[in-house]
Amino acid sequence: MTNKQRTDLIERHIREHKYADLRTLAEKFSGSLSTVRRALDQLEARGVVRRHHGGASLIETDAITQEYDFIARNQRFPDEKFAIASLIAEQVQPGMTVILDGGSTTYTVARLLADKHLQVITNSLPIASLFSEIGSVETIVTGGSIYSRLGVLIGPLCEQSFEQTHADLAILGGAGITENGVWNHNALIVAAQRKMIAAAERTIFALDDSKFGRKALNLTAPFESRFTIVTNTRPTPAVSRAINAAGAKLTLTEKKSGRY
């Protein structure tokens, strides 16, 4: 197989599946990891895919699709997400068991946790791929059906996985936050997040200020005393009062920026 043929096959695979990790592509198309990386570099240069650690995803041009696409979301508000992720990562101590969901800010947290000795439970394929290549994290991946736009596992098997686990901490994202609580778009994602919350002693929500005042299809959870909301600016007085009334904690980042 020539390099061009392999690159064409990789492009076809990613167009069909939206997301692919390096190891899968190397095994499927009989190439080394370095060969696959070069193919992805070419596709990225042509504007077909967007590279990220451990794989690549199809660049979507439709605005509605981008709202759900993991990589498109991961590129929005990078400085705010890095600041939020840094503050959350500081709260994770070696030896903890941590649940990580498939949010884009949660993925940024994962990158900052790679060098810590942790046990991580996740339904996120990008996070699982990240930890498979770097760091010293013991990673447990749930079962479930793949929701390809976000690269997460959902459904009854995923939910059952969390029913049988216990964690010190769950770190979750969301699509919106109002005085009612934290919201998300997909009913199956919300169902999985509720199981994550139930399995953990504490839950941290990573939410940048673009989520303020936004409702989505489902309310993931109203505020409760085991919750910490980490964000980059203070939310509206109504949301702040609701957080305080529930006994939850609101943590604001310092003004800082960085790359991840």
Position 33 pLDDT exceeds 60: yes
Rounded Cα gap, residues 77 and 225, in angstroms: 28
Model pLDDT for residues 154-210, shown as the tens digit of each residue: 999 999 999 989 999 999 999 999 999 999 989 999 999 999 999 999 999 999 999
Place of tokens 């080394």: 32
Structure-token pair, residue 190: 């919300």
Q: What is the SS3 assignment for 173? A: coil
Where in the chain is CATH 3.40.50.1360? 73-252
Domain 3-59 coded CATH 1.10.10.10: yes
Q: Which residues have C-beta within 8 Å of that of residue 170, sequence separation ≥ 6?
A: 98, 99, 100, 101, 196, 197, 199, 200, 202, 203, 204
Strands 119-122 vs 167-172: parallel, antiparallel or unpaired = unpaired
Rounded Cα gap, residues 13 and 20, in angstroms: 8
Task: Render the burial of 88-112: b for 16+ CB within 10 Å, e for the rest.
Answer: bbeebeeebbbbbbbbbbbbbbbbb
151 backbone φψ class: left, alpha, beta (φ>0; ψ -120 to 50): left
| Banded pLDDT at 239 (limits 50, 70, 90) | very high
| Residue 177 vs residues 157, 171, 184: alpha-carbon distances, Å | 28, 15, 9
Model pLDDT for residues 74-127, shown as the tens digit of each residue: 555 567 888 999 999 999 999 999 999 998 889 889 989 988 999 999 999 989
The model carries a pTM of 0.71
Indicate the fold that domain 73-252 takes in CATH.
Rossmann fold (3.40.50)
